[in-house]
């Protein structure tokens, strides 16, 4: 019998997050001949989102539209996904290792008495053997996991598994499922976000991160400019957040966000182990620091020893000239 993998999509600001498409690509890697069934939960515009999943490789999509699913709650999404899992009896369930994925999947795995491989950065397949690679010890080492039996949840770290090419000629069934979510006690009525300009930090291809060396909130302005010319997002060390140069939502590291951009520019950041935990898997790391002994240079691919207030304007000028 053909195997089946569910992919739980995730939205933000009315659109699907890129990690939803990465989860489809991951499901295809896990079992190339499996039926990939997308899951879209929410209140409106579910058909457009379902079609996007199909264009990115899903074979069909199940949607549940309900007022109480407009914003994520573990109770509401938990009940809805459980209902779909019971209907579909999938062989595996894939979603992003995002704050929602981290909250939802362990609860569902416990409820279904099944396994979970979290924070997967790579998937290798040799015949029937699927190896999941995930960082451990704050990214200092990697472990490989093999699932030998039964239904398993897999969460994938954003920006690690390339998405499949979008193909608008693809088509597939979109089924709307009725689920009784009337007894949900928690409803998030509104999500108030701190105004964050531009690209979502956890999915950004380029991150310009500032540390205590930036010295003030005003000192972050050139970093925003550099991020803008590179089409990226601004992040920060905890040192910079603690000093109130920027908001904690920008913090990267062990107790902040984990990012894996193509390019990470660490500006005035010393490279404490807790910071490295959130960015050391970035594909290319550039460090700008006036201290040649700074630990960040030990993991940087390119280092610029100098004063950030001189280096950043030069970089912006050069990039703008290209």
Long-range contacts of residues 291-294, Cβ cutoff 8 Å, at least 24 apart: 294/270
Output the CA torsion sign for 165, 166, 171, 175. positive
Measured from the CB of residue 252, what is the shortest distance to ligand FAD in angstroms?
6
Residue with smaller CB distance to ligand FAD, 134 or 275: 275
Measured from the CB of residue 279, what is the shortest distance to ligand FAD in angstroms?
9
- Is residue 244 within the footprint of ligand FAD (CB under 6 A)? no
CB atoms within 10 A of CB 86: 9
Span of 50-58, 164-172, 188-196, 305-313 interacting with ligand FAD by CB under 6 A: 305-313
User: What distance in Å separates the CA atoms of residue 221 and residue 318, rounded to the nearest whole number?
Assistant: 18
Question: Among all residues, whose Cβ is closest to ligand FAD?
Answer: 253
Measured from the CB of residue 142, what is the shortest distance to ligand FAD in angstroms?
20
Contact call for residues 170 and 160 (beta carbons, < 8 A): no
Q: Which of 160, 289, 297, 315 binds ligand FAD (CB under 6 A)?
A: 289
Residue 111, helix vs strand vs coil: helix
Measured from the CB of residue 314, what is the shortest distance to ligand FAD in angstroms?
13
Q: 193-212 mask for ligand FAD (x: CB under 6 A)?
A: ------------------xx
Q: How far is CA 228 from CA 19, 194, 197, 207, 319, in A?
A: 22, 19, 10, 10, 11
Residues between 41 and 100 that touch ligand FAD (CB under 6 A): none
Q: Which of 156, 253, 261, 315 binds ligand FAD (CB under 6 A)?
A: 253
Q: Which of 160, 237, 260, 282 binds ligand FAD (CB under 6 A)?
A: 237
- Is residue 256 within the footprint of ligand FAD (CB under 6 A)? yes
- Find how far residue 148's CA is from the centre of its chain: 26
Q: Which of 240, 259, 300, 315 binds ligand FAD (CB under 6 A)?
A: 240
DSSP result, 216-259: STGGGHHHHHHHHHHT-EEEE-HHHHHTTSS-GGGBBSTTSB--
Residues between 261 and 280 that touch ligand FAD (CB under 6 A): 268-270, 272, 274-275, 278
DSSP result, 18-53: HHHHHHHHHHHHH-TTSEEEEEEEESS-HHHHHHHH
Residues between 147 and 166 that touch ligand FAD (CB under 6 A): none
Span of 35-43, 82-90, 165-173, 289-297 interacting with ligand FAD by CB under 6 A: 289-297
User: What distance in Å separates the CA atoms of residue 112 and residue 308, rounded to the nearest whole number?
Assistant: 52
- Is residue 259 within the footprint of ligand FAD (CB under 6 A)? no
Measured from the CB of residue 178, what is the shortest distance to ligand FAD in angstroms?
43
Measured from the CB of residue 318, what is the shortest distance to ligand FAD in angstroms?
18
User: What distance in Å separates the CA atoms of residue 9 and residue 27, rounded to the nearest whole number?
Assistant: 12
- Is residue 219 within the footprint of ligand FAD (CB under 6 A)? no
- Is residue 247 within the footprint of ligand FAD (CB under 6 A)? no
Q: In the 8-state DSSP scheme, what is residue 71?
A: S
Residue with smaller CB distance to ligand FAD, 260 or 289: 289
Segments in the chain forming alpha helices (H):
18-30, 46-55, 74-88, 99-111, 221-230, 238-242, 273-276, 296-299, 308-321
Contact positions toward ligand FAD, by CB under 6 A?
A: 211-213, 237-240, 251, 253-256, 268-270, 272, 274-275, 278, 288-291, 294, 307-309
């Amino acid at each position: 019998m053909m195997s089946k993998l569910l992919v739980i999509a995730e939205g933000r600001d009315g659109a699907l997050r890129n990690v939803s498409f990465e989860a489809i690509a991951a499901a295809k890697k896990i079992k190339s001949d499996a039926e990939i069934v997308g899951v879209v939960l929410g209140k409106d515009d579910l058909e457009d989102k379902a079609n996007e999943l199909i264009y990115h490789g899903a074979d069909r999509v199940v949607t549940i539209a309900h007022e109480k699913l407009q914003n994520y709650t573990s109770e509401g999404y938990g009940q809805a996904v459980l209902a779909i899992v019971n209907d579909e009896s999938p062989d595996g369930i894939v979603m992003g290792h995002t704050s929602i994925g981290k909250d939802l999947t362990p609860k569902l795995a416990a409820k279904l008495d099944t396994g979970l491989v979290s924070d997967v950065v790579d998937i290798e397949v040799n015949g029937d053997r699927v190896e999941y690679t995930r960082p451990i010890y704050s990214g200092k080492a990697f472990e490989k996991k093999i699932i030998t039996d039964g239904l398993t949840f897999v969460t994938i770290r954003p920006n690690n598994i390339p998405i499949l090419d979008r193909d608008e000629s693809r088509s597939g069934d979109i089924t709307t499922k009725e689920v009784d979510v009337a007894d949900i006690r928690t409803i998030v009525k509104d999500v108030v976000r701190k105004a964050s300009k531009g690209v979502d930090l956890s999915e950004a291809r380029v991150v310009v991160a500032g540390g205590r060396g930036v010295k003030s909130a005003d000192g972050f302005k050139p970093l925003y400019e550099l991020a803008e010319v590179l089409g990226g997002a601004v992040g920060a060390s905890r040192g910079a957040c603690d000093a109130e140069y920027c908001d904690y939502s920008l913090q990267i590291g062990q107790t902040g966000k984990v990012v894996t951009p193509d390019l990470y520019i660490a500006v005035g950041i010393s490279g404490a182990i807790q910071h490295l935990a959130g960015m050391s898997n970035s594909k290319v790391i550039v460090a700008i620091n006036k201290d040649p002994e700074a630990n960040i240079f030990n993991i940087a691919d390119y280092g610029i020893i100098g004063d950030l207030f001189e280096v950043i304007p030069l970089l912006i000028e050069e990039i703008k000239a290209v």
